[in-house]
Structure 1
Amino acid sequence: MKINAGEIRVGMLLEFKNDLWQVLKTQHVKPGKGGAFAQVEMKSLNKNTKLNERFRSSETVEKASLEETTFNYLYSDEDNYFFMDPKTFEQIELKKENVGDKGKLLTENLQVSVSFYNEKPLSVELPNQVQCKIETTDAALKGQTVSSSYKPAILDNGLNIQVPPFIEAGDEVVIDTRNLEYIKKI
């Protein structure tokens, strides 16, 4: 699907120079002289290289069409995460480097959305909220101001987050998977 260069957003997948690119940064520039353009930093999903490209606002680029399917998380090994389609029981695997830090939030039978490009799995989208257990956290300090009232905590999966002072080790909390922030205590 063709889109205008002005419509390029962070996270989009573009087909460009016979490769698939994920947009990391984008900046729209309107210089005093000449036409407006979009300065885009992209990362190749196949070659793992980066590219800075300048597109005029009148140019069009090809947005990759992705197919999303619901899968359940099964397990992981040293290099991959394994998922199963709940309808067909077909299993797929995704490399840990493609999933990133989100992989630490995966729990058994968690329902996720896997994006496919030409029948090849590319990325995993987790639900917006997941439950986690606090492994360790610092003691709350008396007399702290409200503005700095968050303290560091380590989850049972090894991720570091900031939590309010009333959260203790062993508490169950809900985490936002998009920005890894505390939402509420259960």
Structure 2
Amino acid sequence: MISAGDFRKGITFVMDGDVYQVVDFQHVKPGKGAAFVRAKIRSVLNGGIKDTTFNPSEKFENAVIETTEMQYLYSDGELYYFMDNSTYEQIPVERSYVEEALNFIRENDNVTVSIYQGKPFSVSPNNFVELEVTETEPGLKGDTSSGATKPATVETGFTLLVPLFVDRGDVIRIDTRSGEYMSRV
């Protein structure tokens, strides 16, 4: 059992006969009245997202989720295909379940796929990925003031802020949990 006060991003639980994953949450302690948890949850079974509030002491049953290392193969426009590295079985996944991970994965990259009762519902890239910068403004010589950043686009199309010394063609390490630049490789 898990209480609503213990909600964190990615936690899955059973409520009203459906399985939900916490997409976003906020613990709210107003000056007057009881504390509550405001959460954005996604149905694992049908993909619907809803905003709800919970009493922090409400209890829910944990959902048993299987995670598998898979390789991203290709997309046919609507579905994204992943291959199980141990059985070589290919499974299609809808765009809504892959959307956030697409910023950080390329074809043939390994990802972690979460599955509930045989149905994939979440794709997570590795915590750190190395991608090539495809577009950014050139840095000016001598412009090395600390903390200054500029926008850069990487090979997946994701745009993030990088230090001024990063140029087109550089390979950079990105933290996929926050989408932030970590270092140049």
State TM-score, norm by structure 2: 0.86
Give unpaired runs (5+ residues) of structure 2: none
Following TM superposition, by how much is the alpha carbon of 1:36 offset from its aligned partner in structure 2, in angstroms?
Answer: 4.7
Partner of 1:55: 55
Following TM superposition, by how much is the alpha carbon of 1:43 offset from its aligned partner in structure 2, in angstroms?
Answer: 3.3
1:36 and 1:165, CA in 2 relative to 1: closer, same or farther beyond 3 A?
A: closer
Give unpaired runs (5+ residues) of structure 1: none
Matched, 1:167 2:166: yes
Partner of 1:113: 112
Matched, 1:20 2:24: no
Partner of 2:155: 156
Following TM superposition, by how much is the alpha carbon of 1:84 offset from its aligned partner in structure 2, in angstroms?
Answer: 0.8
1:153 and 1:36, CA in 2 relative to 1: closer, same or farther beyond 3 A?
A: closer
**How many percent of aligned residue pairs carry the same amino acid?**
34
Question: Residue type of the partner of 2:15?
Answer: F
Following TM superposition, by how much is the alpha carbon of 1:47 offset from its aligned partner in structure 2, in angstroms?
Answer: 5.2
State TM-score, norm by structure 1: 0.85
| Cα distance in 2, alignment partners of residues 157 and 37 from structure 1 | 38
Matched, 1:179 2:153: no
Partner of 1:43: 42
Counterpart secondary structure, 2:70: strand
| Cα distance in 1, alignment partners of residues 167 and 143 from structure 2 | 18
Following TM superposition, by how much is the alpha carbon of 1:15 offset from its aligned partner in structure 2, in angstroms?
Answer: 1.4
| Cα distance in 2, alignment partners of residues 78 and 151 from structure 1 | 32
Following TM superposition, by how much is the alpha carbon of 1:151 offset from its aligned partner in structure 2, in angstroms?
Answer: 0.8
The answer to whether the Cα contact below 8 Å between 1:26 and 1:41 also exists between their aligned partners in 2 is: no
